[in-house]
Chains A and B, each alone.
Chain A
Amino acid sequence: DARVTQTPRDKVTEMGQEVTMRCQPILGHNTVFWYRQTMMQGLELLAYFRNRAPLDDSGMPKDRFSAEMPDATLATLKIQPSEPRDSAVYFCASGLDGVEQFFGPGTRLTVL
């Protein structure tokens, strides 16, 4: 049963700390998306990769957020330094050529 996996599932940290979230896309998928979900804003696209190359990261605050794909089986989203307003659920999704997206379970981030 192929699934997108994300770690950690929950993260509580203090303001100013670095946070790294990891995602393992479904094997064979060539597109990876990072989303953030909050009650106020709903689901927002942060970054999008195709064949490991970043195609769109316009939704991401560049001064503190960075997204990478070191290899085809791992995508990372890093926040440095973290702020309370970054508290949200972060989802990773993968797909084939960006047609249909399959979501991971999310990482719930709380920044105190």
Chain B
Amino acid sequence: KQEVTQIPAALSVPEGENLVLNCSFTDSAIYNLQWFRQDPGKGLTSLLLIQSSQREQTSGRLNASLDKSSGRSTLYIAASQPGDSATYLCAVRPGSDMRFGAGTRLTVKP
């Protein structure tokens, strides 16, 4: 059964810092991996989708990488801002369903 782990569970950084969030999964047979952002009391917002044949995707200050062979993905956030404060979840598609990690709660302090 596919297990998705996110480390750290919580992270607090000062504004302007570059940071990396980690996601690991146990089974490399995936169709894609998706990073989401969730604000308190809100739904999930899709940030980046990486297909299994891709190594990375970029959107603005965000860059996500995928290493299927090692079962890892990272989300890099450049020049963090207080507005980036949220919970970040990664999810993998091993088949028709999607498996989520527990998330990393990020706080960016002004």
- Could you list which residues of chain A lie within 8 angstroms of chain B, going by C-beta atoms? 4, 33, 42-43, 45, 48, 50, 55-56, 59, 91, 93, 98-106
Contact = CB atoms under 8 A, between A and B. Distances in A.
Contacts of B49: 99-100
Given A48-B96, A48-B97, A56-B96, A101 B34 contact: yes
> For chain B, what secondary structure do more than half of its interface residues adopt (helix, strand, loop), or is it mixed?
strand
Contacts of A42: 100-103
Contact of B89 (A43, A55, A100): A43
Interface of B: 31-32, 34, 36, 42-46, 49, 89, 91, 93, 96-98, 100-103
A91 B44 contact: yes
B44 A45 contact: no
A79 B96 CA distance: 24
A102 B34 CA distance: 11
Contacts of A50: 96
A45 B43 contact: no
Contacts of A45: 97-98
B93 A103 contact: no
A48 B36 CA distance: 19
Closest 10 CB pairs of A and B: A103-B44, A43-B100, A103-B43, A105-B43, A45-B97, A100-B49, A42-B102, A106-B43, A56-B96, A55-B96
